[in-house]
Amino acid sequence: MDIDVALIRKVAARQAGERALEERFSSPKLAAVDAVLLQRAASADRELLKVAAVIRPDAPMAVYEDLGGTYFQKVED
């Protein structure tokens, strides 16, 4: 069984190049946790969230929930 090392290197270099281009020019991807937190913040009551941010700027979402804030769920058709 012959292994063509030059071919393996060529394929690896092409894949590395494709990954580098994708990372450089594609739109940024959020981590799953960040995406969930953004969705929650976007669906929060803005006025109550402002109050929570004034009370505790370092953890407004926790204060928002402590104040009874809820998140609206988007209904899919």
Spatial contact of 61 and 41, defined as CB atoms under 8 Å apart: yes
Spatial contact of 36 and 64, defined as CB atoms under 8 Å apart: no
Please name every residue paired with 71 in a beta bridge, in sequence order, or none if there are none.
Answer: 44
Could you tell me the mean pLDDT of each successive run of 10 residues in the chain, 77 residues long?
Answer: 82 89 78 86 91 93 93 65
> CB under 8 Å to 44, separation ≥6 — which residues?
61, 64, 69, 71
Q: Tell me the CA distances in angstroms from 22 to 11, 16, 17, 18, 72, one per residue in order.
A: 16, 10, 9, 6, 34
pTM: 0.53
Please tell me the predicted confidence (pLDDT) of residue 74: 58
Q: What residue spans define the domains of the chain?
A: 5-66
